[in-house]
Structure 1
């Protein structure tokens, strides 16, 4: 599925806020005429978008053909900002979150005021040294402990991640940063971006960037950038090619 997260308080259902998962579960429950509870491949924060998102669910006493052809009916009950793309059968123990072998995010920056990029990209007015930012981004591939970029007090057993790609590419009027890893910590990409932008503004140098990672201290890293520019763009599974 895919969604524009601008209007929603993230993916995961919450008691006092509208979320993508809540609306998806309601639409699917109505269509299949039974309670449906999805489990997503991850938890995107409020305002974050997704172009490639997976969730698994169980459905009972429904012909497989009806399930596989349910997209149109489910989309008819979802708001315009949320789109189901495909339903496929998987093995009974398949898990949308734990089976994922790689995830990729992109973050978009633009440099001039643009009404068509509101809630889609982050406006940065300062000039950025993209070459040095890419040098710093490449440093990420040499580390595995990213405690300095993790939101505090999260229920994770480890802050280790294996980043396999981290690069800025220039595009008309802005930049797009692509980062891929086996897993990500809460708020990790936005914290990395905030720190890399500090490098681009020459507020810190490469040595300081490495020292921040090695400190394992969130207070040493840069501020989290706005959610509007962040997109979950790829999830990989061993049984989906």
Structure 2
């Protein structure tokens, strides 16, 4: 049987999602505990591969298991996992469902704090220069399209295409006075959201204009865009799938 884990994690203490040699990852932490509980080696496949220090408020990963899952598996697994990783639900899925390839969209939030805050500094970029929200929102509209986003992609990766379908991109100010950027697309390139945020911040401080952003996008060259925003402000907040893939749910 194939199952989806619905989970969240604080990425501060992890070298990203994906298993890698000699570094602790979120994937490894979950696989180790899940394998021990189920009594056999379990491998999980995530909906994406968040980088070092990046967080997820809603992430999915699939695994296969032919035995019977106990109804209290979520509680049992959470009791073994570190405090910075939480499993919310386990879904029984269509046998062919794939956490990465069947996702129809992914959404990220990026948080910027305009002043030092002892309660949010680990989960936001502290940026104390004045930002023009209207200019950043105006520029962000240029991103809403299906096109080549190579100017915001990390160099020397193994992706076959830089084409992404960006469906929303906007800024807002939350109740804590933080600037929050939200972006949704069918897929994202490695480091793409952080590079976009860094570039839009340059618009917000007047370093570049909306017209400059048009040229940056057309260049399809990472060197044309702004520096990447720090990892700690980035959160994966949603992943969407066709509803027909979901069957039973284990809470």
C-alpha distance in structure 2 between counterparts of 1:25 and 1:85, whole Å? 16
Q: What is the CA deviation profile of residues 103-151 of structure 1, one whole-angstrom value per residue up to 9, with x for unaligned ones?
A: 0000001111111112211100100111000000011114511000000
Aligned partner of 1:119 in structure 2 is: 122
C-alpha distance in structure 1 between counterparts of 2:178 and 2:100, whole Å? 32
1:90 equivalent to 2:93? Answer yes
1:208 equivalent to 2:212? Answer yes
Whether contact under 8 Å (2:168, 2:182) holds in the other structure is: yes
1:41 equivalent to 2:47? Answer yes
| Helix, strand or coil at the partner of 1:133 | helix
C-alpha distance in structure 2 between counterparts of 1:44 and 1:11, whole Å? 5
Count, aligned residues: 238
Whether contact under 8 Å (1:112, 1:173) holds in the other structure is: no
Q: What is the CA deviation profile of residues 157-208 of structure 1, one whole-angstrom value per residue up to 9, with x for unaligned ones?
A: 1100011100000123221100000000000000000000000010000110
> Structure 1 unaligned runs (5+)?
none
1:149 equivalent to 2:134? Answer no
1:189 equivalent to 2:193? Answer yes
1:110 equivalent to 2:113? Answer yes
Aligned partner of 2:14 in structure 1 is: 8
C-alpha distance in structure 2 between counterparts of 1:90 and 1:182, whole Å? 21
- Residue of 62, 68, 82 corresponding to 1:63: 68
- Residue of 30, 34, 50 corresponding to 2:36: 30
Aligned partner of 2:249 in structure 1 is: none
| Helix, strand or coil at the partner of 1:180 | strand
Aligned partner of 2:3 in structure 1 is: none
Whether contact under 8 Å (2:145, 2:167) holds in the other structure is: no
| Helix, strand or coil at the partner of 1:87 | strand
| CA-based RMSD | 1.1
Larger strand fraction of residues: 2
Aligned partner of 1:175 in structure 2 is: 179
C-alpha distance in structure 2 between counterparts of 1:63 and 1:157, whole Å? 39
| Helix, strand or coil at the partner of 1:51 | strand
Report the TM-score, using the length of structure 1 for normalisation.
Answer: 0.96
C-alpha distance in structure 2 between counterparts of 1:119 and 1:11, whole Å? 18
Aligned partner of 1:75 in structure 2 is: 78
| Helix, strand or coil at the partner of 1:144 | strand
Whether contact under 8 Å (1:6, 1:228) holds in the other structure is: yes
C-alpha distance in structure 1 between counterparts of 2:145 and 2:225, whole Å? 17
Whether contact under 8 Å (1:8, 1:47) holds in the other structure is: yes
